[in-house]
Amino acid sequence: MAKTIVATTKAPGAIGPYSQGIKANGFVFASGQLGLVPETGQFAEGGVTGQTRQSLTNVKHVLEAAGSGLEKVVKVTVFLKDMKDFAAMNAVYSEFFKEDCPARSAVQVAALPKDGLVEIEVIAEA
C-alpha cells in the first residue's frame, strides 16, 4: 500500500504525532479538525457555530491539499462536547453539505483537545 502524507498551512498543524491527512488506496483520511483559525491558533469566535464553520473550512483545505474536495466526502464523524449543540452544528453542516450528503455519525465526547466544542473528521475519495 502506498500512502502519502497530506499537509497544508491553510489548516492548523497537527498538535501531536499525527498527520493532517493521509492519501491511500484512492481515499483521503482527514484527521479530526477543531475549529481553530490557522493564522492565530485560537478558536473561531461564535461558540459551536463558529467552531463548526471553521472546522469544516479546515477539513476542506486538507482535502484540497490532497487533490480532493467536500463533494467527494463519503463519511463524516462529528465529535461534540455537548449533544445539546447538535442543532447548531447541523445548521452550519448543512451549508457545506447540501445534496448527495455523506454518511455521518455524531457523538458526544467527554472532552476535546484544547477544550474545543466540536471536532470533525472525514473520509473522501481522492
- 20-45 pLDDT, tens digit per residue, is 999 999 999 999 999 999 999 999 99
d(CA 78, CA 106): 5
Question: Strand 103-108 and strand 73-80: pairing?
Answer: parallel
Closest among 124, 21, 118, 46 to 79, alpha carbons compared? 118
CATH number of the domain at 3-125, please? 3.30.1330.40
- Show me where the domains of the chain are located: 3-125
- 87-109 pLDDT, tens digit per residue, is 999 999 999 999 999 999 999 99
d(CA 113, CA 92): 21
Question: What's the predicted TM-score (pTM) here?
Answer: 0.96
